[in-house]
Amino acid sequence: MDTSIKVKFDKIDRKILEILQANAKITNAQLSKDIGLSPAPTLERVKKLEQSGIIKSYHAKLDAEKIGLGVSTFVLVSLIGHNKGNIDAFMKEINGIPEVIECHHITGTGDFILKIIAKDITAYQKLMLEKVSEIREVDSMQSMVILSTFKDSKVLPIPE
């Protein structure tokens, strides 16, 4: 299974991708002006980028504070075993917890790093005690509370 299917795209496509990453709500007319094409071929290119899977989806970014989410953390998690069964079981549990918004398998001392978001410290503690540490496969955890976020870019640096 090749998960790194490279799809060809040129300079114009790259520009489209940069613009849509930064602002998905731009109209096709404006986008076409920005890249120097007429609307028809512009739209065609966007559709192709969507169909090829280069563009996976479109999302609204919310202000976490304003919707009452005051606590964000990274959590390093070690599992009791590293076999596939354990990892699958862990993943399944994690997928059921909406407060865990990211879960990555990583190298190094910990096995996984999670990004978690909660209302406040109380809610976070409750979540950790009652949900995360209850997962059978979890051995140890180490929390890093985010004090402030200086950069949270939704724009990936597209290589040449």
Partner DNA sequence: GAATTTTCAAAATTTTATGCGGTACAAATG
Partner DNA sequence: CATTTGTACCGCATAAAATTTTGAAAATTC
Is the separation of the CB atoms in 68 and 119 below 8 Å? yes
Stretch that binds a copy of itself, among 34-42, 77-85, 133-141, 146-154 (CB under 8 A): 146-154
Phi, psi of 71 (to 5 degrees): -125, 120
40 binds, among a copy of itself, DNA, none (CB under 5 to 8 A by kind): DNA
66 binds, among a copy of itself, DNA, none (CB under 5 to 8 A by kind): a copy of itself
**Is residue 1 a contact residue for a copy of itself (CB under 8 A)?**
no
**Is residue 44 a contact residue for DNA (CB under 7 A)?**
yes
Choose which of 7, 40, 146, 158 interacts with DNA (CB under 7 A): 40
With both helix axes pointing from N to C terminus, report the angle between 28-35 and 39-51 in degrees, rounded to the nearest 10. 100
Contacts of 28 by beta carbon, 8 Å cutoff, 6+ apart? 39, 42, 43, 46
The number of residues making up the chain comes to: 160
Residues found near DNA in the complex (CB under 7 A): 12, 27-29, 36-45
